[in-house]
Structure 1
């Protein structure tokens, strides 16, 4: 049924574990909400499956979260019980029945994290649409190398595989060398992971070696990363979504990083056209979700991402999309990473600033000349800051607003040093 690291659990074993987990924490009452923070992935998944089967509510919490923070999050969500290692249960005293579904928070990269509730029936519709739309993985073996406390790993990695009758292999390590070894042991592996991990795996693969398939999600790949991953992957997929709607679109053959994919059948998606991008709006069931993403739909139905609305930089009335600047800068020899962000300007209103990292010395004058040769005048960064490493999250996302605020306060270099340390 499922493999976790090097151990296989068949259906009978997982069903027994789920029954024991349900009995240990009192899942029989489907009106309860359970916050679950467990370091043992098998115990965690057995409990999640029991909660889902009972129609109760679950708030998955990453096992690295300190107990006090987990308790605070559970209380904020109105959970009745906090479950930790060994199925220890802490009563939280919440009143009223739970909503019956998956409780989540948004990533917080574009503002304060929001609390999200998705019913199990909504998630079931997502899974059915995902399976009906995306056929390529039917002959592949899913390897889930991302947190199963997040919907990407839990729903698209584990639940979808179980719905297909496959055996998902959950790999609970951030070591790309270990992951490569597991991929070599797998027949036609499909790797579900973050852009950062896919890039690390692609760079570490020996010359001439490739992997069967990979799925990327969470943030748009820099073009240089895409080229590296694409060269080492026979089939490269991308999916686009948001916490409120789940997976929205899937690209079955990723060749341009902004091409998010074709919308799943249970969604109706509105966006602009190539000449006039607009906010991507997702209609799912009776809900309308404004994504705050700027994009458009091509005539062939492909949904294309342009930028976050709040990341767009307005230079004297001209829009600058950060990724266009970043892709040009990262194409310069020696530059390893880059992020463009907004800097207030008394004359233009806003101007482009840039933080970057490099594997060897890149003089500011050389970088500016490169930008002048490859960008429009209003896109050229007015200021550049070199850092040892950019403050990306584990999944590759980066908070441009936070970087802009740190830079304005003169704390960007210090913050980046703290992250590296």
Structure 2
């Protein structure tokens, strides 16, 4: 088969045959081989085909942190011909409801620890099949029983919830004994709906096709060259697999080359993180600025034998000089910074490890065209700033059921306007000089002021509100909210209201009350003046 004509299913079948005994994913002391993944994902695919009303092309929401169940259900769903809707486990009920309804998801796979959130709104969505999994469901029987009992009854980390049509993942796998029906997919069929604020802040599903994701995997592997050795790598995976960055690096590029990813369910728990990584002779780590800073400054991490580490990739947020220096000093490895978007599957460019240029996001991955344009759409020469535009096989098909939003960013001849201001140097390296106008990046996650302002504006005592990003040593940026109030309203009440309606990283860390907000002649709030 032509390598350019492969679907994710084709690539999975290849790696399962080639590396059945290789370790694929490890988490909390348990490892699945590629043979295990083949068997379990086939069982899940069979269950979906024979025991649900789902048909090829239907959407299935997957709301899981970094646990072994994630690759099992994602690969199983894709092998059954379904479209995966990656859903952040930290989402509030409002955010979950929007994503389920916008995508038209008919099924949900969710971790029991967080299932109560979806249970609150599930009847207001089209989801009619819910598959619930407990944290240790992929572990051997005795360990599974002990761990799940401890999490539920001793640590009391599983709140009460109930779904009308609910089945456990283990029961679903047990029922998946019938042969899986072969699925024939076109490379341009959608494989994943990856939600993003895009450039406007309204959560939209980027339609990523089989071709987009396989192509970006091939582009990334070609770009890094010998940095990833087939079947020989052990990569630490602290970034969430539901985020497109880790999805492509760990579930695609590393998995499809027979390599081993060690999943970290909660990278903010640094002691648990360190306890896990010291068990492995790891060769690579994909992270973000905040993680490199936290690890490099941790006395226990500094004791770990890092002699096997050969490659560190950085993305998701800008890499600071301080973080890069600390990491290189400790490990001897300079983080290779890259750039990408949800809409580009995500990798656009990256620094080759043998030729890293600090302050740049590297050169475009193979098969990618880039240009910068001025306000009138004219291409700019090397060294001149402009809006970065990207063209290549990794560029999304468009936004799900939003043709107007698609047309705003994607031209008929395939150029994607990123909304980021950049300079392309004479040597082809790209420097990002300014971000999408108002977007805030908190620990690698995009936060759009519009969403926060819309939510806060619904509070009965808020007249108007404006959100901006302010620098933060740990998170890169955090949200600062300016509020004009009507009556007695304090900072704590605003933050509590935000916590009820927004994912934690979107919740403002700073509140400032004002009598009025700066506005333009037409009444638009001027965030730049607040900044």
Q: TM-score with structure 1 length normalisation? A: 0.69
Give CA deviations for 1:68-97 in whole Å, capped at 9, x if unaligned.
Answer: 642431111222323334899988179xxx
CA distance in 2, matches of 1:21, 1:73: 23
User: Out of 385, 391, 398, which is 1:277 matched to?
Assistant: 385
Q: 1:67 to 1:208 in 2, by over 3 A?
A: closer
Structure 1 residue aligned with 2:98: 72
- For residue 91 of structure 2, give the secondary structure of its aligned residue in structure 1: coil
After TM superposition, give the deviation of residue 413 of structure 1 in Å.
7.8
Structure 1 residue aligned with 2:42: 19
Instruction: Summarize the alignment of residues 301-320 of structure 1 with structure 2, pairs less than 5 Å apart.
Output: 301-310=428-437
Q: Which of 11-20 and 177-186 deviates more?
A: 177-186
Q: 1:160 to 1:296 in 2, by over 3 A?
A: same
Instruction: Summarize the alignment of residues 104-119 of structure 1 with structure 2, pairs less than 5 Å apart.
Output: 104-107=194-197, 111-119=201-209
- For residue 156 of structure 1, give the secondary structure of its aligned residue in structure 2: helix
Greater fraction of residues in strand: 1
After TM superposition, give the deviation of residue 223 of structure 1 in Å.
2.4
Structure 2 residue aligned with 1:137: 228
Structure 1 residue aligned with 2:10: none
Instruction: Summarize the alignment of residues 359-374 of structure 1 with structure 2, pairs less than 5 Å apart.
Output: none
User: Out of 305, 328, 333, which is 1:230 matched to?
Assistant: 328
Q: Does 1:266 align with 2:367?
A: yes
User: Out of 35, 60, 63, which is 2:86 matched to?
Assistant: 60
Q: 1:284 to 1:181 in 2, by over 3 A?
A: same
CA distance in 2, matches of 1:43, 1:102: 17
Instruction: Summarize the alignment of residues 208-223 of structure 1 with structure 2, pairs less than 5 Å apart.
Output: 211=306, 212=309, 213-223=311-321
Q: Does 1:154 align with 2:247?
A: yes
Structure 2 residue aligned with 1:35: 61
- For residue 130 of structure 1, give the secondary structure of its aligned residue in structure 2: helix
Give CA deviations for 1:249-273 in whole Å, capped at 9, x if unaligned.
Answer: 1113486653101111121111356
Unaligned runs of 5+ in 1: 313-321, 324-340, 342-352, 358-388
Q: Does 1:287 align with 2:414?
A: yes
After TM superposition, give the deviation of residue 61 of structure 1 in Å.
0.9
After TM superposition, give the deviation of residue 294 of structure 1 in Å.
1.1
Q: 1:75 to 1:170 in 2, by over 3 A?
A: same
Structure 2 residue aligned with 1:252: 352
User: Out of 277, 285, 288, which is 1:191 matched to?
Assistant: 285
After TM superposition, give the deviation of residue 275 of structure 1 in Å.
4.3
Q: 1:283 to 1:241 in 2, by over 3 A?
A: same
Q: Is the 8 A contact 2:469 2:477 kept in 1?
A: no
Give CA deviations for 1:28-50 in whole Å, capped at 9, x if unaligned.
Answer: 73221111124582223211112
Q: 1:39 to 1:292 in 2, by over 3 A?
A: closer
Give CA deviations for 1:169-212 in whole Å, capped at 9, x if unaligned.
Answer: 11112222332333333224311122211210111045676742
Higher RCO (C-alpha under 8 Å, 6+ residues apart): 2
What RMSD, in angstroms, separates the aligned Cα atoms of the two structures? 3.9
Q: Is the 8 A contact 2:66 2:241 kept in 1?
A: no
CA distance in 1, matches of 2:199, 2:298: 29
Q: Is the 8 A contact 1:127 1:155 kept in 2?
A: yes
CA distance in 1, matches of 2:428, 2:383: 15
Q: Which runs of 4+ in 1 moved over 6 A?
A: 86-91, 410-418
Q: Is the 8 A contact 1:238 1:260 kept in 2?
A: yes
Q: TM-score with structure 2 length normalisation? A: 0.56
CA distance in 1, matches of 2:42, 2:262: 22
CA distance in 1, matches of 2:272, 2:199: 29
Unaligned runs of 5+ in 2: 1-23, 129-187, 373-379, 394-412, 442-448, 450-467, 497-506, 511-531
